[in-house]
Amino acid sequence: MATMVRWAPFSEVTSLHNEMSRFMNGLLEGNGRTSQSWVPVADVWETEDELVYAFDLPGIPEAKISVELDDSTLTVTAEREREQKVEDGRYFRFERRFGTFTRTIALPQGVTEESVRAEYANGVLELHVAKPQQPKPRKIQIGVGGGAAEPQTIEGSAERK
């Protein structure tokens, strides 16, 4: 039995566009250096006490990785250098990315430097961010009549509807 497949010409144009973008990323910059922009893949998950961000950074030494926290924004910067030079020009395929990348992640309000912990093993950078404490409801005393009468208490709750 023959299977019919609908021809989608725009998907072929999209594929061509992606390949051209990859090619253009590898062209020479104005200073004569070759560079390819790249962003490593990242996973994000949540546990009871923390948020965890995991970045795949294979082949990057720990000394070339920087993690900075600035005003509830976490910035990861790393650099992967090209390991070998091709002198005879006989490279058949070049897909591994190299160069510098920067990735910025917005964190919940109230995260401090002490609540961020970084671990790097087997080419994976894991950033563990402890969840900040949520504000608790509090009681507010209200004085009645501005005088010597005993204050009344109004209680609030943190329930959302």
β partners of residue 100: 79
**Tens-place pLDDT, residues 136-152:** 788 888 877 655 556 56
Burial class (CB in 10 A: 0-12, 13-18, 19+), 20: exposed
Confidence at residue 54, expressed as pLDDT on a 0 to 100 scale: 94
- What are the C-alpha distances in Å from 73 to residues 7, 38, 91? 45, 20, 40
CA distance 144 to 48: 43
**Tens-place pLDDT, residues 31-68:** 444 444 677 888 999 999 999 999 998 888 999 999 99
Residue with tokens 């992606």: 18
User: Strands 124-130 and 140-142: what pairing?
Assistant: unpaired
List of domains in the chain: 38-84+95-134 (2.60.40.790)
**Tens-place pLDDT, residues 99-156:** 888 888 888 888 888 999 999 999 999 999 998 887 778 888 887 765 555 656 667 6
- Average pLDDT across the chain, whole number: 77
Give the phi and the psi of residue 11 in degrees, each rounded to 5: -70, -35
Cβ-based neighbours of 94, under 8 Å, separated by 6 or more: 26
Burial class (CB in 10 A: 0-12, 13-18, 19+), 32: exposed
Cβ atoms of 99 and 38 closer than 8 Å: yes
